[in-house]
Structures are given as structure tokens and as C-alpha cells.
Amino acid sequence: MLVSRDAAYTIRLAITVAEVSTVVRMIQTEVALSKREGMPRPCVINADNLSTIPKGLLESKIVSLSTGKLDELDAALRFALALA
């Protein structure tokens, strides 16, 4: 899942992503996704596992998150990074 700020996508060669996994632990750093969001099976965005990768590795967009899911991701990232 892309987690870089929107402006970064057009100017940076590398972007920050959060792992999407089918291993569900039900912890504060996870955001649940399902077929409702367009995923093929239940999974989570894991805000504990962030990486910066070359933008060229991206192939296609799978899903766009609703405002509610973006708010959940924001909260998970804040918790994972101990941000106020």
C-alpha cells in the first residue's frame, strides 16, 4: 500500500509502502481489507512493515481506500511510528 504523500509520487524516484499481508494479528498497526475494498481475499495493511522502494517496481493499482480506511491507516501509522 502506498503511504508516501501524494506530491511525492510525481517528483521522487522512490516511494514508501506498507506491507499488505494475509497474516492477521488484530493489532493496532493493522488495517483490515476485504473484497469490499477490492482485495481478492481478506488481508491487512501492516503499518509496522514500511519500506521505501523504487517507483518503477509498481505495476498497477489494485485498490483505492475509502476515507474511513484512510483514517484507519493514518491511525495505524501514527501508532506504529509513535507520532502524536
CATH number of domain containing 21 = 2.30.30.110
pTM above 0.95, yes or no: no
Assess if residue 60 is contained within a domain.
yes
Q: What is the pLDDT of residue 11?
A: 92
Assess if residue 2 is contained within a domain.
no
The count of domains in the chain is 1
The boundaries of the domain holding residue 63 are 8-80
Tell me, letter by letter, the H, E, C secondary structure of the chain.
CECCCCCHHHHCCEEEEEEEECCCCCCCCEEEECHHHCCCCCEEEEEEEEEEEEHHHCCCCCCCCCHHHHHHHHHHHHHHCCCC
Q: What is the pLDDT of residue 7?
A: 87
Q: What is the pLDDT of residues 12-70, one digit of tens each?
A: 999 999 999 999 999 999 999 999 999 999 999 999 999 999 999 988 888 989 999 99
- pLDDT for residue 79 is more than 80: yes
Assess if residue 15 is contained within a domain.
yes
